[in-house]
Amino acid sequence: MVRLVILLALILAALWLWRRLRRSAGQPPRDSQPMVRCAHCAAFVPQQRAIAFQQQWYCCPEHLPQDRS
């Protein structure tokens, strides 16, 4: 019975170690970017791609207000 418990513990430890190594060997995590919501359609876009106009964010030029004065 003790051998069975030790064998089970070794198998679980090996599985844990294998999953941990596999996760760290994968692709490096991508840098996250701040996301903003389009004031017109409520779609989320990266802040770098969004258009700022009158303290609002827009996802494309078509969604900018027509009265841009």
Predicted confidence (pLDDT) per residue in 1-60, tens digit: 999 999 999 999 999 999 888 876 666 667 788 999 999 999 999 999 999 999 999 999
pLDDT at 26: 66
Quickly state the pLDDT bin for 68 (edges 50, 70, 90).
Answer: low
55 inside domain? yes
20 inside domain? yes
pLDDT at 22: 80
pLDDT digits (tens, 9 = 90+) for 34-46: 999 999 999 999 9
68 inside domain? no
Residue span of the structural domain in which 13 resides: 1-63
Counting the structural domains of the chain, the total is: 1
* Tokens 């900018």 found at: 64
CA distances from 65 to 11, 28, 35, 42, 51 (A): 62, 40, 20, 14, 12
Q: Is the pTM of this model over 0.75?
A: no
